Amino acid sequence: MNTNGGVAVLEPVRVETRTITYREAVREAIREAMRQDERVFLMGEDVGRYGGCFAVSMGLLEEFGPERIRDTPLSESAFTGAGIGAALNGMRPIVEIMTCNFSLLAADQIVNNAATLLHMSGGLFNVPIVIRMSTGGGKQLAAQHSHSWEGWYAHVPGLKVLIPATVEDARGMLQPALEDPDPVLIFENSLLYTRKAELPINPKSVDIKKAKVHREGTDLTIITFGASLYKALDAADLLADAGVSAEVIDLRVLRPLDDATYINSIAKTHRALIVDEGWRSVGMSAEISARIMEQAFYELDAPVERVAGVEVPMPYAKHLEQAAMPQVETIMAAAKQMLGI
């Protein structure tokens, strides 16, 4: 505190920061959780000696050993089931599945076991498991490695579904997920692993119940999640040059959805555009649109619009892959059409 002419002036608190990648943020979160709680362990394909398919767990085997960084066979159903068993017996497993496409091989374990056991046991058995997986296209990995299944899992009662878009959320979502007594699925878009941001040296956990307004606006609400957040923000910047004030919301949590944040925004802007990399039919964009119609119909000055993935298996060819996904240009075009400009 300084004094200026006898008046006390509070100096801003300086927070020491560093620049890290999304990948490093996830690794750091895992390392911190394992240091704090000996019940936490990581298991999955190539998480140990190889360092993870996306290099997230690089170096953790050397620090924690093979008992807590466990390489598994190529059997998603088997090791996800083993993780559920460990959770039922008091451990706090983090199960890594390479891509969400491969999680379909473990869907029986996730949907029929992890999500239902609390209900089927009459409230006696919680399943405190965290399952991490990559999602999304854009890396020319073709249809069997590039789809977005987070909307499928958001359909299932008994699961919590998180999709961190920012380095901050990648770092801060894991600890509250591990503290949750029930299954939590974390979808990490593979395009984001190299994205960088500044974070405090000692970052805090983040709220895994709330959406986040990343940009405030008055003319249009753009609702999105995952890697599409950055396309929406870029589109909002370009729309601003055309005199359009767009509010951009990152949902962050797909189950349970934070309706209040986007409904309050629509009450201000009176227009809603939903951007979802997943397919349009029976997807997240359809669910959010339905909720807007149910809760905010009379706030709307125009129909809800959606920009979603084209309904084809994800192409391998780069130009076709890009055409199959929402892009800045398609988001802008939809927004301008809504506004009649």
Catalytic choice (45, 145, 188, 287): 145
76 assigned to active site: yes
Cα Dmax for the chain = 71
d(Cα 45, Cα 201) in Å, to the nearest integer? 30
Question: Is residue 51 left, alpha or beta, with left meaning phi > 0 and alpha meaning psi from -120 to 50?
Answer: left
Q: Pairing state of beta strands 92-99 and 40-44?
A: parallel
Of 193, 239, 188, the C-alpha closest to 218 is 239
* 123: Cα within 13 Å, side-chain hemisphere: 0
* Annotated catalytic residue within 76, 168, 247, 287: 76
In this structure, are residues 229 and 250 in contact, taking their beta carbons and an 8 Å threshold? yes
Per DSSP, 4 falls in state: E
Two tokens, residue 332? 């802008």
Choose among 112, 190, 124: nearest CA to 153: 112
Kindly state the DSSP code that residue 105 receives in the 8-state scheme: G
For residue 256, say if its preceding peptide bond is cis, omega within 30 degrees of 0. Answer: yes
Q: Which two tokens stand for residue 42?
A: 């990581």
Burial (Cβ within 10 Å: 0-12, 13-18, ≥19) of residue 295 = middle
CA distance 89 to 96: 19
Asked whether 162 and 184 are in contact (CB, 8 A), the reply is: yes
Strand partners, 132: 96, 186
What spatial distance separates the first Cα and last Cα of the chain, rounded to whole Å?
52
**145 annotated active-site:** yes
Q: What residues are labeled active site?
A: 76, 145
